[in-house]
Structure 1
Amino acid sequence: MAAGHSRWLGRTGVSLGFGGCRGSHSGAGVSLKREYDAVVIGAGHNGLVAAAYLQKGGLKTAVLERRHLVGGAAVTEEIIPGFRFSRASYLLSLLRPQIYTELELKRYGLRVLPRDPYSFTPLLEDSQGGKVPPSLLLGHNMAETQSQIAQFSAKDAETFPKYEAFMRRLVLAIDPLLDTCPVDVAALGQGSLRQRLGALRGLKSLLSAGFVLGKDLPRYYEVLTAPISKILDFWFESEPLKATLATDAVIGAMAGPHTPGNGYVLLHHVMGEIEGHQGAWGYVMGGMGAVSQALACAATALGAEIFTEKLVAQILSCDGKVHGVCLQDGTEVKSCLVLSNASPQHTFLDLSPQEFLPPEFVQRISQFDTRSPVTKINVAVDQLPNFLAVPNTSDGHPSPHHQCSIHLNCEDMGTVQQAFEDACQGTPSNRPIIEMCIPSALDPTLAPPGCHVISLFTQYTPYMLAGGKQWDDQEREAYADQVFDWIEAYAPGFKASVIGRDILTPPDLERIFGLPGGNIFHGAMSLDQLYFARPVPSYSNYRSPIQGLYLCGSGTHPGGGVMGAAGRNAAKTALGDFKKL
């Protein structure tokens, strides 16, 4: 511990408002009405997006959030006095450009700070005897990035631009699919003429993706179905580069680099953009809560009403048609549309009347894979980490590598695989994979002068420990200590700089943010749970067996991440159905 500081273990937080819309919900003069056209359950970013588009489409809309602040997992909280953390989600890239424009998010204060360079992988080897260990720094300047890669392999340095171009082409093909409903296969053969025409339009988008990929379609199919280790072994030979890239395929997933079908998660990390720069990721000025605040401001400016500390206990239905929701305090709010930003399992197994749900549907929802390997640790420090591979400057100012996603324990693919195998036995990884981010390196408003906030996205940690043991404070602290020991090996002095920490295991992420199993995507983004089958086959178009009840969260197509596509797509689907009533 640094002198004068005591350890602070955070469990709760203070919410913060940003920009021109200071509050996180409708003003004090606005009271919850007893009837709306549409009710959105949950003010996560997708729920806020859905509400904005519903209201923009002419439906009087209310958003009901159980927590004291909006944003779901995209929140900023002052969990240690003076330090503001993006407590769960911590980077932005995937938010759809249409949403930026159509909801005028810049007008409401959203500002993204791009990172270049963006990835830093320090190594431990050769750190004895005064030698400076090697490291790998990746950025948008291709010549500089190639020079970095050439330290480990001249062949890989030459190949890297070709790999980037190959992946960009796949992103180009998939991108239009993100903003449309998956093809309604049932409607193609059994629907009305209108339904068949709609399904054909969806099929056209799918076929267009195939045309973009052309003769290379089999190679791209392999990217989506094969283990990422196989794909990266084809392209590269240097272990630090492969391990660094592999983390983007397994992050947030209970999967290792040798698990088949983890290529889509990798795509999630190259398909976004910032200011038109493809694949770029950035920090949000003021933390991730600023994204949610901008969305909330856009929705309320359009006329939507947002209420916090309103826990929905039941979705009301009569004769298989939704007619509103009932709050925990017994208040009933009538509506002919309900959009749930909660997970599929919570929506259908906890909130919905079971008599209107087909048994097969309930079974499939029950079996939806929500396993998570993630423990998020938020840390307040009084100085920047000082890595052996790239020592700090004497003035203490952040260096380029401090703004990056810093990958620790990524020496080779075997290390990543072993960390996964540890968790499969119910044991937190002995050598956990750590993604460290220091947003205060670019946004000094997040911490007091000279201090910093650090985000540690770590895996693998099982939801349930070996022998059915639950996580307790002792287990939680022991794992965090182990993570800190590894950081200390790369950056001596780190542990002494720590002022306080906030440890969120998978059960904590579930309890606080409503993430089922602690899964940041609401459910695994494996091939059996994507597109046609997300969350279950025949219900991938945001609709449900209950007429008027829709899903709009990350458990639907196109999946997780602060993207907003699910909220926008669901709102457009619900609006289209409403106009036919």
Structure 2
Amino acid sequence: MAARHFRWRGTTSAPLNFWGCSRASHSGASGSLKREYDAVVIGAGHNGLVAAAYLQKGGLKTAVLERRHIVGGAAVTEEIIPGFHFSRASYLLSLLRPQIYKELELKRHGLKVLLRDPYSFTPMLEDGQDGRPPRSLLLGNNMAETQRQIAQFSVKDAQAFPKYETFMSHLVSAINPLLDTCPVDLAVLSHGSLLQRLKALRGLWTLIHAGFTLGKELPQYYEVLTAPISKILDFWFESEPLKATLATDAVIGAMSSPHTPGSGYVLLHHVMGELEGQQGAWGYVAGGMGALSRALASAATELGAEIFTEKEVARILLSSDRKVRGVCFKDGTEVKSRLILSNASPQLTFLELTPQELLPPEFVQRISQFDTRSPVTKINVAVDQLPNFLAAPNSTDGQPSPHHQCSIHLNCEDMHTVHQAFEDASHGRPSLRPMIELCIPSALDSTLAPPGCHVISLFTQYTPYTLAGGKQWNNHERDDYADRVFDWVEAYAPGFKASVIARDVLTPPDLEQIFGLPGGNIFHGAMSLDQLYFARPVPSYSSYRSPVQGLYLCGSGAHPGMCLTWAAVQT
């Protein structure tokens, strides 16, 4: 499958360039690859870079091996359309653990975060009344203004919203410490050494402490973690636009519906973030997500880690007694190490890179059954003017308005619409009315596009990995779906399609091939209840270790999951 899928307006045929971490900026700076290291990290995604920094900080000579020409994994900035710099996959920042931000001095290494306030905009697809534009819902940090917005749809909901926020914040404060500790290793508690048991008790104490923190409200919070988010939101609110807007955080990136049990946990993860001391804040990275990866790489290399691009690991080398002894490239070159951290997905790590005959059959079976279904098709768009929403017309000077900096939710007027989009994909059809999260990072960062132009991220779902009847995605299917998405954006913002200069369409198979995301899953595996905490990625191997001595996971397929948390590399 081709790695890039573009559709251009007019006859432009300029060469494609990349903007971000170049070959020279890392493999050159690191010098030549040595034949032996204390530790090797497979994959220079954000988690891999953080792992390398901490390993090197701990005194281990560390090398990072990345198969692409650019570091960052899914957190990259690429000039895939000349003059337009896209956060091609990951596009928002929030879940970076505060201690990593501080300890690696990422601000000194160039990281600049652009906070968004307001942060959410949901326009209605309806006729305006008495000459007024259609209604919309704008949510921000000003609670009084947010309540005024909600009151357009329900005064009762406007009054309930601060209580809901407080309720969720309390749950976040209890669950948050679990992100920074290893899950309870029940096998070690039963059969491990005294030292291993003591370490495992740390995780057990954190779990118990979370229960004590929640106190008598524990049953209510347990319901949030296990029930469909629709049930939780129906308890708190009555207005569909508010419920559907909040529900998007419970299903985004997940092949699930608002009516799927456990979808509340995904929503919880999306309110756990913190930026610049603001709980739950989400923001853009100045220069795109690649600037974050550059900061991480700079921190790691300053500590002494060596980072090499275009170094694809073909297999992990093991001794006959199931101990790591290094890695091997496709050309047969070997790099020795007795410690390997894989930032690749569990499936790639254990089903493709590790010799199957040296792994327990039950472990291999469980990894094979790890759910990696993804509903996401990401569309990156270059435009020559801002979208002009019927519900919030543009200013006459053409400058971005507050709602342009938000996550703009389209086809999110009610939860039935979101559920129906899921139902389409569950039958192998791309959604007829897809859920769309539209972001315009250039509204806050003018360096991303030429003057007067903008870059737009369309994070859309639901699209199945394999189409009905076993049919694979091709250019026709890809363009047909992208055209459908553009038709819906046009319905909310007439003139959008005429403003499009070019687009880059990434279906689940494309996300898998380019970024190594299994099934196109941005979390390396579903964040479902059966794949969380001490069951992630599989039971008895949730503490980042594996059946192979010296081989560990450090990516999103390990606890706590999600996409940009960095928590897995700390413990």
TM above 0.5, yes or no, is yes
Paired residues for 1:173-188 under 5 Å: 173-188=174-189
Q: C-alpha distance in 1, partners of 2:47/2:86?
A: 21
The Cα of 1:563 is off from its aligned counterpart by 1.4
Q: Which runs of 4+ in 1 moved over 3 A?
A: 7-13, 127-131
Q: 1:334 to 1:504 in 2, by over 3 A?
A: same
The Cα of 1:354 is off from its aligned counterpart by 1.3
Paired residues for 1:23-42 under 5 Å: 24-27=25-28, 30-42=31-43
**1:431 counterpart SS class:** coil
Task: Provide structure 2 residue ranges, at least 5 long, that are not aligned to the other structure.
Answer: 1-7
Over residues 447-491 of structure 1, what are the superposed CA-to-partner deviations in whole Å (9 max), with x where a residue is unaligned? 000000000000000000000000000000000000000000000
RMSD: 1.6
Task: Provide structure 1 residue ranges, at least 5 long, that are not aligned to the other structure.
Answer: 570-581
State whether structure 2 residue 450 is matched by structure 1 residue 436.
Answer: no
**1:16 counterpart SS class:** coil
Q: C-alpha distance in 2, partners of 1:11/1:429?
A: 33
Q: Which residue number corresponds to residue 572 of structure 1?
A: none
**2:95 counterpart SS class:** coil
Q: Which residue number corresponds to residue 407 of structure 1?
A: 409
Give the TM-score taking structure 2 as reference length: 0.97
Q: Which residue number corresponds to residue 561 of structure 1?
A: 563
Q: 1:175 to 1:11 in 2, by over 3 A?
A: farther
Give the TM-score taking structure 1 as reference length: 0.95
Q: C-alpha distance in 1, partners of 2:457/2:13?
A: 15
Paired residues for 1:388-403 under 5 Å: 388-403=390-405
Over residues 487-535 of structure 1, what are the superposed CA-to-partner deviations in whole Å (9 max), with x where a residue is unaligned? 0000000000000000000000000000000000000001100000000
Counterpart amino acid of 2:400?
P
User: Which shifted more, 191-200 or 60-69?
Assistant: 191-200
Paired residues for 1:236-275 under 5 Å: 236-275=237-276
The Cα of 1:9 is off from its aligned counterpart by 10
State whether structure 2 residue 350 is matched by structure 1 residue 348.
Answer: yes
State which of 3, 6, 15 in structure 1 corresponds to 2:10.
Answer: 6
Q: C-alpha distance in 2, partners of 1:376/1:204?
A: 40
Q: Which residue number corresponds to residue 141 of structure 1?
A: 142
Task: Indicate the percent of aligned positions where both proteins have the same amino acid.
Answer: 80
Q: 1:8 to 1:53 in 2, by over 3 A?
A: farther
Q: Which residue number corresponds to residue 163 of structure 2?
A: 162
**CA contact 2:136–2:391 (8 Å) conserved in 1:** yes
Counterpart amino acid of 2:281?
A
Q: C-alpha distance in 1, partners of 2:130/2:147?
A: 29
State whether structure 2 residue 488 is matched by structure 1 residue 509.
Answer: no
**1:107 counterpart SS class:** coil
**CA contact 2:17–2:82 (8 Å) conserved in 1:** no
**1:106 counterpart SS class:** coil
**1:173 counterpart SS class:** helix
Q: 1:168 to 1:508 in 2, by over 3 A?
A: same
State whether structure 2 residue 155 is matched by structure 1 residue 151.
Answer: no
Counterpart amino acid of 1:421?
E
State which of 520, 523, 526 in structure 1 corresponds to 2:522.
Answer: 520
State whether structure 2 residue 494 is matched by structure 1 residue 498.
Answer: no
Q: C-alpha distance in 1, partners of 2:237/2:430?
A: 29
**1:67 counterpart SS class:** coil
Q: Which residue number corresponds to residue 76 of structure 1?
A: 77
**2:108 counterpart SS class:** helix
| Alignment: residue pair count | 563
State which of 457, 474, 477 in structure 1 corresponds to 2:476.
Answer: 474
The Cα of 1:77 is off from its aligned counterpart by 0.1
State whether structure 2 residue 486 is matched by structure 1 residue 484.
Answer: yes
Over residues 242-286 of structure 1, what are the superposed CA-to-partner deviations in whole Å (9 max), with x where a residue is unaligned? 000000000000000101111111012100011111000000000
Counterpart amino acid of 1:368?
F
Q: Which residue number corresponds to residue 220 of structure 1?
A: 221
**1:105 counterpart SS class:** coil
**CA contact 2:43–2:343 (8 Å) conserved in 1:** yes
Q: C-alpha distance in 1, partners of 2:77/2:13?
A: 17
Paired residues for 1:441-456 under 5 Å: 441-456=443-458
Paired residues for 1:243-392 under 5 Å: 243-318=244-319, 319-392=321-394
